[in-house]
Chains A and B, each alone.
Chain A
Amino acid sequence: MTTNPPLALEALTLSLPSVAGPVNILRGVDLTVAAGETVAVIGPSGSGKSSLISVAAGLETPTSGTVRLFGQDLGALDEDGRARLRRGRVGLVFQSFHLLPNMTARENVAAPLELAGRADAMAEAEAWLDKVGLGARHTHYPHQLSGGEQQRVALARALTVRPELLFADEPTGNLDAANGAMVADLMFDLLAEAGAALVLVTHDEALAARADRIVRMADGLIVPARTEVST
């Protein structure tokens, strides 16, 4: 029996309306990510990288094409159905961190576990904060944390559910070099520990090089790769 890949995109298109007419953001993307595989998506601004993650994670509905997460066609699910599918199986890390401002670091990390109905959400969250080096900052609110610390909290939140697939959209984009490197190291280490697949959007070629595979995007399409790194 064949195991479904965590992610399979087929002929994906995304057009958004604008005052000047529809804007074609994705123009027919095909991509498959295998279990445990790390894929870096690189390309210039406006090439559709972040939109690719948005659609692939089920946060947005494509104009046409198919998105399968763990073999499930997202087109057959409504918004709540997609949310339920993400619970416990998908992690998300954003460039702007997107921590919940009125919750402490511990509560932020615990949130996806609470949504999944886990009774040990707080204890697990504390353990993950310790893992990312923020054991002393459990009760701090996001505005009391530095950028690097906020991203570490976001990383803990994404991985605490032990996802099968992690989406990371420019995870180091808002961080200085030192913090960015720390977050990147943490991400790959914890990812390897969890055995999760990764779809990483980044401008950082060095960061991209750490992935199993690099995919280049331009003008809403995946262009033929210049180099591929095999594990």
Chain B
Amino acid sequence: MRLALRFAGRELRSGVAGFRIFLACLALGVAAIAAAGSTAEAFRQGLASQAREILGGDLVFSIDQRRFTEAERAVFGALGPSAYSVRANAMAETPSGARRLVDVRGVAQTYPLVGVVQLEGADSLAQALAPSGGVPGAAVEQALLDRLNLSLGDTFTVGGATLRVGAVLISEPDRIGRGFALGPRVLTDVTTVEAAGLLGTGGLFGEAVRVVLPTEADPKAVIEEVRETFPDAVFEARDRSEAAAGAGRLIDQLEYFLGFIGLASLVAGGLGVGGAVSAYLEGRKASIATLKALGAEGVLIRNIYLIQIAVLALIGVAIGLAIGAVTPLIIGALAAEQLPVPALFAVYPEPLIRAGAFGLMAATAFSLWPLARARTTPPSSLFRKEMSGAPTLGLETALAGTAALGLAGLAILTAPSRWAAAGLIGGAAGAFLALSLLGLAAAWGSGKVRGLARGAVRLGLANLAGPRSAARTATPAIGLGVALLSAIVLIQSSLLAQVSVVAPRTAPSLVFTEIPGDRVAAFDTLIDQALNNPQTDRYSRLPLLTGRITRLKGQPVDIEAIDRGERWAFDEDLTLSALDSAPDNSKVTAGTWWTPDYVGPPLVAFEQDAAKGAGLKVGDTITLQVLGREIEAEIAVLREVDWGGFGANFGVILNSGTIAGASPRHVAIAMASREEEAAITQALAADFAGVNVISIRDQLEQAATLFDRLALAIRGAAAVAGLAGVLVLVGAIAAGARFRAREAATLKVLGGTRGQIVTAYLVEYGLVGVIAGLAGATLGAAGAWPVVTQVFNATWSVDWPVILGILGGTTGLGVIGGALAAFAALSRRPAAVLREAG
């Protein structure tokens, strides 16, 4: 080994100029993975460092549709300092009649326990909420002020209360932990919200208490104790570790997605790595044969070049890690103020170690195969230049195969969802294989059709078919980048179209909540007039109940036995409804819907996927806790629910006889134009001021804006994979440069003009670009379609301008590659080239 080290050191003395592509391909992929991991860790650490502020304390207990009992308050109060808050949705209305749904939050004077509420127009929250002229104050988000044309000091009503704009609400410390809001936020005193009548039975409201524990207390143990004190209570409890669980999951998913792009870049760039090693070893063939002639054994040859590859791989990985470690620091320096989530930008070892492991495994997987061939270079190649080594199943191929499996295994093990990751890895591997085969097929096909062409075109086709054809390496590398980019573009365009085009067409544009059960007829009349007698495909009203499934087939719910994706129906309260008969578009998949005159034991229509997840079928019974009592109902129907469509989109629907005598609130949905929306909102002010009007159009527009903002960033990240393909193309050009120069010199001697030679290269590389682009886009579409239609249940939509742009770009890339190859080939005088070759 010392001899191998000595000989390897002498080889490396000549520098790494021939390995620029090797280093660039490796560094790019490692940098992408490291940057994604480091940035995600920065966000995780930021969330963790501010967990107390985000949660608003050490613990939070929250409950929906009721207030905490005195017994519960006593227990919470004994834990430590606490701050209560209530929350409801209601319509805010100005004296001029403008109305808007708002998220109202009433807080106690002890709020916030941790952190600071950021305001404009007041020095403190107490000042902002203090009454003025008998009118309580409120801190209001700028979005509401803009929408209702309000200013500081103006008054507006919410429910039965009049409020004064005491300050502009910039942010609350626990905003991230509270999740999504249906409207702009209004922060006021808890007694004001109580006085507004928003916390009554039937309305959607909630209460929460945040607690600060003594330093030595264990939050999880405290939660356990509280649960034991109230075993039947259904309140939710979270500690600091779950302060922003949703944000944490999003960070995990984003990290994996961006890391996957980096991994795809590494795989695509792996061809550049392998190509660079092949070219290097090809150039060393004479040296290898000479060493063998001098008495070197195969193992020594292997070790000499393995050491060199290892050193260069370490350099490439180190460069990538350095870039990846620095990238989040740059992001932090440039954009820290604009980030919606707190972040602690620093150098974190764990994501760098992971990225380094990926890089080394990729280098091993793609470098050792050409080494296996080089090791078997026969010494007789000193006499016969055309002879090359044949790959054998030795240590090199075993290590390469192990590294490839390790790469896939590590990618799956580090994923938030292993099955999804396995699918992604398998899909990418399959795409890579398909593209590699396509490259070979393109080379073969060119050889078959070249006889049909003449002149420079024929020469280009012959080059494409030849042993040094770029089709074999550049096609799969570029194609993989194009496939990834195309898949992302197609998924994004479909989802964006779903949100901005399809949903507005098919989903309700307005949702009305808190409709009093005893005034539904009058409400229907008002809507009829506003929408000019709408059919059921434009307006639908149903009772809205809240309940909880406590038993299945007579047994208590065992949540662990239910499929993870369907636990939503069984692990917490859910909204349900009751109908006389089957709604329009009921999509029954099993059983028979009850008739309007049905009288008998309670029946229920259940969403089919949730039923399947819990092992339920028609005829089984479920026990519901609803309207203050337990109801055992038999499953009469299983149905498919179109969650985004217009209709009775409830997972659980009882027969209306089950709730006879009750007068629950109702919810209604309507399809309305923007003008009709404004008119309805105004019309409801007089007689139905308590009815909340949720504009789905507004939500969809916000979602579309968010998508658009993310689109550029995500496409930019995906373009990294495309960049790897560019590097491979450049590597392929560089590897064949000497051969191309000899070829060009020979052609000139035979009478070829520069134009003809350039044309040949443009044909060859242009075709590589076209083939890679078309194949990549097709594979990208094949990968995107099931994600759009099966995972997101959205409508397939193609952003043709962008896809055509990608195809045009890939073709252009090939043409530029051809021009570069031609430039390199023609840059030297023929005599010098031919002298060298002789």
Contacts and interface: CB of A to CB of B under 8 A. Distances in A.
B383 A51 contact: yes
Which bracket fits the contact residues of A? 20 to 34
Contacts of A87: 294-295
A87 B289 CA distance: 14
Contacts of B384: 16
A54 B380 contact: yes
A16 B289 CA distance: 19
Interface string A145-187: 0000000000001000000000001000000000000000000
Interface string B1-27: 001001100110110000000000000
Interface stretch (A108-116, A126-134, A192-200, A217-225): A108-116
Contact of A100 (B291, B295, B382): B291
Contacts of B294: 86-87, 92, 111-112, 115, 157
B10 A107 contact: yes
Contact of A115 (B13, B289, B296, B382): B296
Interface string B698-731: 0000000000000000000000000000000000
B295 A59 contact: no
A39 B213 CA distance: 99
B201 interface: no
B295 A102 contact: no
Interface string B279-316: 00000001101111111111110000000000000000
Interface in A31-75: 50-51, 53-54, 57, 59-60
A100 B287 CA distance: 6
A98 interface: yes
A140 interface: no
Given A59-B383, A94-B382, A102-B287, 5 more contacts: A57-B293, A59-B289, A80-B298, A100-B290, A102-B11
B379 interface: yes
A63 B287 CA distance: 26
Contact of A112 (B6, B13, B295, B383): B295
Contacts of A102: 10-11, 13-14, 287
Contacts of B6: 114
Contacts of B14: 101-102
B382 A80 contact: no
A80 B300 CA distance: 10
A111 B291 contact: yes
A115 B295 contact: yes
A59 B290 contact: no
Contacts of A107: 10
Given A98-B290, A102-B13, A115-B3, A83 B296 contact: yes
Interface string A16-42: 100000000000000000000000000
Contacts of A207: none
B382 A86 contact: no
Contacts of B287: 100-102
B508 interface: no
Interface of A: 16, 50-51, 53-54, 57, 59-60, 79-80, 83-84, 86-88, 92, 94, 98-103, 107, 111-112, 114-116, 157, 169
B380 A83 contact: no
B593 to A, nearest CB: 77
Contact of B298 (A79, A86, A115, A116): A79
B262 interface: no
B3 A60 contact: no
Given A79-B292, A100-B287, A114-B3, A59 B382 contact: yes
B378 interface: yes
A115 B294 CA distance: 8
Contacts of A100: 10, 287, 290-291
A59 B378 contact: yes
Which bracket fits the contact residues of B? 20 to 34
Nearest to A79: B298
A169 B290 CA distance: 14
Contact of A86 (B286, B289, B293): B293
A86 B379 CA distance: 12
16 contacts: A54-B380, A59-B378, A60-B380, A79-B298, A79-B379, A83-B296, A87-B295, A98-B293, A100-B287, A100-B290, A100-B291, A107-B10, A115-B291, A115-B294, A115-B296, A169-B383
Contact of B295 (A54, A98, A116): A116
Contact of B297 (A60, A80, A99): A80
Nearest to B300: A115
Contacts of A112: 294-295
Contacts of A79: 292, 298, 378-379
B331 to A, nearest CB: 42
Given A54-B380, A59-B380, A60-B380, A84 B11 contact: no
Contacts of A92: 293-294
A112 B293 CA distance: 9
Contacts of B297: 80, 83-84
A110 B293 CA distance: 14
Nearest to A53: B383
Q: A-B pairs with the 10 shortest C-beta distances?
A: A87-B295, A60-B380, A59-B379, A80-B297, A112-B294, A115-B295, A98-B290, A59-B380, A54-B383, A102-B14
Contacts of B300: 115
A44 to B, nearest CB: 17
A102 B379 CA distance: 19
B383 A83 contact: no
A123 to B, nearest CB: 16
A146 to B, nearest CB: 16
A50 B383 contact: yes
Given A54-B383, A103-B10, A111-B291, A98 B298 contact: no
Contacts of B286: 98
Contacts of B10: 100, 102-103, 107
B301 to A, nearest CB: 10
Contacts of B299: 80
A57 B293 CA distance: 8
Nearest to A98: B290
Given A102-B10, A102-B11, A84 B383 contact: no
A57 B286 CA distance: 17
B11 A86 contact: no
A86 B297 CA distance: 11
Q: Which of B10, B291, B298, B383 has the most CB of A within 10 A?
A: B383
A103 B294 CA distance: 14
Contacts of B11: 102
A169 B11 CA distance: 26
A57 B378 CA distance: 13
Contacts of B295: 83-84, 86-88, 112, 115-116
B536 to A, nearest CB: 78
A88 B296 CA distance: 11
Contacts of B7: 114
Nearest to A57: B293
B620 to A, nearest CB: 73
Nearest to A107: B10
A144 to B, nearest CB: 13
A86 B14 CA distance: 29
A114 B289 CA distance: 17
Nearest to B376: A79
Contacts of A57: 293
A83 B292 CA distance: 6
A98 B296 contact: no
Contacts of B378: 59-60, 79
Contact of A98 (B3, B13, B380, B382): B382
B376 to A, nearest CB: 8
B119 to A, nearest CB: 70
Interface in B356-388: 378-380, 382-384
A116 B296 CA distance: 9
